[in-house]
Structure 1
Amino acid sequence: MDKKEFRLLIKYCFLKGRNTVEAKIWFDTDFSDTAPGKSTIKDWYAKFRHGEMNIEDGERSGRPKEVVTDESILKNRDILGCAWNNFHWLP
């Protein structure tokens, strides 16, 4: 199962009135090898208690990840005036 499916099941447990311990026991029994951790279940229960019923990933703050492409490598090489030689930059 993927994260989103587990989140849906955590929400199901929450709506059924199970506490986090009961939910964890149920997950460990039925999904022993891939069950979410206790802290994950607690975090989602806290969100549900505060009225956040969406199980999608939220927006993340901060700098987005950069993608390394051949174009960006060439651009940086031109700026630095260096060449890449297998393991390191050469002047």
Structure 2
Amino acid sequence: MQSGRQDTLEARYAIKFCVKLGKNATQTYEQLQTAYGLTCISRASVFRWHKKLKGGKVSVRDDERCGRVREVRTQELVGKIRTFMDEDRRVSIETISEQFQVIVGTVHKMIQDEMNKRKICPKGTQ
């Protein structure tokens, strides 16, 4: 099989084909192992997709997932953070993260990349 996402999609089409031929999950897995060898998808994946496709699922693609929006680095959010930082210049990244419900690493990258700011830690004299 190829590498990455394409190989699992190809295997799912093969599973769908076996389901239409009336093969059970074990037979399907054995045929995939014969065809793809060591690069075959796992037995658990074959059984899971066989069950889904036999149960009436039509598409071999993954369903949409719920959760947090992928892109949080919007100009609107950058503007809000900039305003928040202008009000209190000593605010921490953790405080900003909690205030806007964004991961600390994302806040840090926005401050560096979008606002061209970085923490300056001068060396103390002794």
Q: TM-score, normalised by structure 1?
A: 0.69
Q: Is the 8 A contact 2:18 2:28 kept in 1?
A: yes
- Residues 54-65 of structure 1: matches in 2 within 5 Å? 54-65=59-70
Q: Distance in 2 between matches of 1:38 and 1:7?
A: 12
Q: Distance in 1 between matches of 2:54 and 2:35?
A: 25
SS in 2 for 1:33: helix
Q: CA RMSD in A?
A: 2.8
Which stretches in structure 2 are left out of the alignment for 5+ residues?
91-110, 113-117, 121-126
2:42 corresponds to 1:37: yes
- Residues 1-91 of structure 1: matches in 2 within 5 Å? 1=2, 2=6, 3-66=8-71, 78=82, 79-80=84-85, 81=89, 90=119
The structure, 1 or 2, with the larger RCO (C-alpha pairs under 8 Å, 6+ apart) is 1
Larger Rg: 2
More strand by share: 1
Question: What number of residue pairs does the alignment pair up?
Answer: 86
Q: Is the 8 A contact 2:11 2:32 kept in 1?
A: no
Q: Distance in 2 between matches of 1:22 and 1:14?
A: 10
Q: Distance in 2 between matches of 1:32 and 1:5?
A: 14
Letter in 2 for 1:90: K
Which stretches in structure 1 are left out of the alignment for 5+ residues?
none
